[in-house]
Structure 1
Amino acid sequence: MNEQDLKRAFEDVVVASSPPPSMDPGRALDVARKARSKRRSSLVGAVVAVLVVGVGLGTAFALNPKGTTEYMTGAGASSSSSSGSSTGMPDTQWGEQWPVGQSDRTATNGPQADRGTQLLHLLMASAPAGYDTPDLKYKDPSMYGGMLRAQAQISTDKGEVPEIWQYTAYVPVRKGDKVGKLTAHVSMPDPRDPTEPCALSKKFQRAKDAGCKLYEVGGKQIGVASPASLDQGTATWATYRAANGWTVTIMQENEYPHGGYPALDGQLFLAPQLAALAMDPKFLLGS
């Protein structure tokens, strides 16, 4: 305690009282000690806050240098632009095992199911001229439901990062009384996907022995694959990996398996056309 503190304490007591009380050195000393203690506490609190912020930013920078820099400079995304819907990435609320509202991997309502329906409509509109896409029923009694259908499902388990949703659409394509099939499969970025175009295309059917040929579309290499032999089917499919990591596969078949309808006379698309269709940005579902 020094003379200046004593003087300041005395002045505080004088200002707070009217009329001025008689000087009480003991009280003045007590007030001065409390003031000094308060100033010290404020200083320590400020230092601790700076240290905590510094440690937090250091950790964040190690995990995400770009995002931390944006935060420090005030250039970070707004709360609306950082949501899953705006980036194309999921923002899923999970229950005990499955996303809320689901009893298994498949979403039957909500934004993910809507994406599956969107994919179905996009694929239907992609049928070549002269073909229609009716909502046919299976003639095979062992099958149920319609042949025109879509699905959205979560392929990763709760807690896995990144979270991956996949969307699939199945469309019967008819000309006269003959029916073939178009399939579209769209997946959120999967770090396990190979980068080589033919390896990526073969992964779709898990057909390592499939034949594959590269086609260049818009400066990009697309792998167009087909089974190694006719007894494995007549399917042909093209898979495209977009710059953001999303993948799109479009597959065509002369026959709709188990549909019970006569097969088409030939393929719906030539291989280069199929590759170009897989690259159509509309299939990225707003990502």
Structure 2
Amino acid sequence: MEENEFRDALRSVLTQSPEPPPMESSAAVTAGKRAARRRTVLACAGAVAALAAVTIVPARYLSQGPSGSGDIQVAGPAASALPSGMPTPGPSDGVPAPEDTKPSWPAEASGDATADTGPRYQKGKQLLTDLLKVVPKGYGTPAGKDDQGTEYQTHQAAIENPEWSYLASVVVTKDRAAGQLDVEVHEPENTLPTDPCALAQSFWGQKAGTCEVVQVGGAKVGVARPPAGDTGVDQYAAYRYADGTVVFVAQARKSIFDKPALAELPYTTAQLAALTQNKAFHIVA
């Protein structure tokens, strides 16, 4: 086979492959703002000939050891389109086979690591609904978008390695100030730490600060804070269920939007820890 024939055949395969749908601008803006706040890289770009696509994926969680612990008692639970007879190019030809250039995401994920349809998408959506139900009285929960098109309430279901995770974020307002509440759930078979404080401090790759173990009924919940001066999430609690499901609940006085910070955090330490025991947040596969 001549070189030109080979090139034309390969180009035919690539151009017949479906192109991932474009990401909405509002979602991109939101992801960018969160990236700055988390201090981790949330976006990656992959390009292979005509199959170039920009993909936003959650950062891999980094485990850091606990910096201290204490016990607090809290009552109650809270393939191939080449012409016939033409060999399929492969690594031995110096060119990767076309099927090797395609992302192998599940059917729910059309082009990137997040689900846009199906049961897992619905689980992420339900997580947002359940988070809104536990917002403390006296706080507003604005819906819609700001003037830049960034949503005040968001949800996501994303494929990790190997489990799925679900994230819901809500802006809470009080006296013209705005803070943020986040719940993130990882399905079983995840590789997150088992120690309560190490687990809490693995949230979004946070820097090691302080941590305490809070007893909620018979559950030991890690509740951590970042180092003084850190401008990210102010406090985050984490719990691993017996089946391996991990629940993170986080709160911040300042949101990702350009608004004044809340005078105080919405939840006390005990209340934040108890939220990890909320049955609605215990998402199973």
2:211–2:223 CA contact under 8 A, matched in 1: yes
Q: Work out the CA distance in 2 between the residues paired with 1:105 and 1:168.
A: 13
Question: Which residue number in structure 1 is paired with residue 236 of structure 2?
Answer: 237
Deviations 1:225-253 (A, max 9, x none): 11111233451000011111100000000
Name the TM-score, length of structure 2 as normaliser: 0.60
Q: Structure 1 residues 255 and 111, CA, compared in 2 at 3 Å: closer, same or farther? A: same
Which one of the candidate residues 106, 129, 134 is aligned to 1:126?
A: 134
How many residues of Structure 1 are paired with residues of Structure 2 in the alignment? 183
Question: Which residue number in structure 1 is paired with residue 121 of structure 2?
Answer: 113
Instruction: Report the residue type matching 1:152 in the other structure.
Output: A
The structure, 1 or 2, with the larger RCO (C-alpha pairs under 8 Å, 6+ apart) is 2
Deviations 1:43-72 (A, max 9, x none): xxxxxxxxxxxxxxxxxxxxxxxxxxxxxx
Question: Which residue number in structure 1 is paired with residue 252 of structure 2?
Answer: 253
Cα distance, 1:96 vs structure 2: 5.8
Q: Work out the CA distance in 1 between the residues paired with 2:282 and 2:139.
A: 24
Q: Work out the CA distance in 2 between the residues paired with 1:262 and 1:191.
A: 36
Residue ranges of structure 2 left out of the alignment (5+ in a row): 1-101
Question: Which residue number in structure 1 is paired with residue 180 of structure 2?
Answer: 181
Which one of the candidate residues 250, 264, 280 is aligned to 1:266?
A: 264
Q: Equivalent residues in 2 for 1:58-73 (5 A)? A: none
Structure holding more strand per residue: 2
Question: Which residue number in structure 1 is paired with residue 145 of structure 2?
Answer: 137
Residue ranges of structure 1 left out of the alignment (5+ in a row): 1-94, 157-162
2:185–2:247 CA contact under 8 A, matched in 1: yes
Cα distance, 1:208 vs structure 2: 4.9
Structure holding more helix per residue: 1
Give the root-mean-square deviation of aligned CA atoms. 1.8
The alignment partner of 1:232 has SS state of: coil
Q: Equivalent residues in 2 for 1:144-223 (5 A)? A: 144-156=149-161, 163-223=162-222
Which one of the candidate residues 97, 115, 121 is aligned to 2:104?
A: 97
Instruction: Report the residue type matching 1:105 in the other structure.
Output: A
The alignment partner of 2:254 has SS state of: coil
1:118–1:285 CA contact under 8 A, matched in 2: no
Over the matched positions of the two proteins, sequence identity in percent amounts to: 36
Name the TM-score, length of structure 1 as normaliser: 0.60
Q: Work out the CA distance in 1 between the residues paired with 2:271 and 2:131.
A: 14
The alignment partner of 2:202 has SS state of: helix
The alignment partner of 1:200 has SS state of: helix
Cα distance, 1:119 vs structure 2: 0.3
Instruction: Report the residue type matching 1:270 in the other structure.
Output: T
Cα distance, 1:191 vs structure 2: 4.5
Q: Which has the larger radius of gyration?
A: 1
Instruction: Report the residue type matching 1:110 in the other structure.
Output: G
The alignment partner of 1:121 has SS state of: helix
Q: Work out the CA distance in 1 between the residues paired with 2:154 and 2:167.
A: 9
